[in-house]
């Protein structure tokens, strides 16, 4: 990389980190190309981004972001993964680390708060944002459907009563 490419890379990484809420730092020593491709695919499927960057360039990109606290973690062969959904990026990184010994989650940051590896694993155990949203919608819609059923029940009962009276009157008129 020449200087202009490095500047562009740092600016691109900085703008991506400005727009995110969670960054995971991982040590990726010795991953094969196939393993790295598999990791990138899993990260993309979770809505996350995974980049291997030189530590010096990552230090420059972190300046001005809320993630300054992760700079001490950037030693050796490291990579950054980030996403706006904190749980999805943590879950993808921890799940891949369980299946591959060459990939180790070091820590990360959630906003300005720096997390160690245990903090990232605790985040990975939480349900994802989509699951939480679905649960919330289910809790909100259940009472609404019950209220609608209760409100419709008296109307249906009245209609049945009026129908019964109408049939009774028709039966009496035919008999007379």
Say which CATH architecture domain 3-126 belongs to: 2-Layer Sandwich (3.30)
Give DSSP secondary structure letters for 40-75: HHHHHHTT-EEEE--HHHHHHHHTTSTTGGGGGG--
| 87-to-35, 55, 59 alpha-carbon distances in Å | 22, 25, 24
3-46 pLDDT, tens per residue? 888 899 889 988 888 888 889 999 988 888 999 999 999 999 98
pLDDT of residue 77: 87
Distance from the Cα of residue 43 to its chain's centroid: 11
pTM exceeding 0.85 = no
Residue with tokens 């040590």: 27
- Rounded-to-integer distance, Cα 48 and Cα 88, Å: 7
pLDDT of residue 147: 66
Domain boundaries, the chain: 3-126, 127-176
Confidence class for position 150, pLDDT limits 50, 70, 90 = low
Between 2 and 52, residue with greater pLDDT: 52
Classify the phi-psi angles of 33: left when phi > 0, otherwise alpha if psi is within -120 to 50, otherwise beta.
alpha
């Amino acid at each position: 990389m020449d200087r202009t490419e490095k500047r562009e890379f740092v600016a691109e990484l900085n703008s991506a980190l400005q727009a995110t809420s969670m960054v995971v730092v991982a040590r990726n020593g010795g991953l094969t190309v196939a393993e790295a491709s598999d990791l990138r695919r899993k990260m993309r499927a979770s809505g996350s981004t995974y980049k291997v960057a030189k530590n010096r360039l990552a230090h420059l990109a972190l300046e001005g972001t809320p993630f300054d606290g992760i700079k001490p973690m950037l030693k050796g062969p490291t990579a950054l993964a980030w996403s706006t959904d904190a749980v999805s990026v943590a879950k993808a990184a921890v799940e891949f680390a369980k299946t591959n010994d060459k990939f180790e989650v070091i820590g990360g940051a959630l906003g300005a708060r720096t997390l160690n590896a245990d903090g990232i694993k605790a985040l990975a155990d939480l349900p994802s944002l989509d699951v939480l949203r679905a649960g919330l919608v289910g809790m909100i819609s259940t009472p609404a459907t019950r209220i609608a059923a209760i409100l419709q029940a008296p109307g249906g009962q009245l209609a049945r009563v009026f129908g019964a009276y109408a049939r009774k009157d028709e039966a009496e008129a035919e008999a007379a």
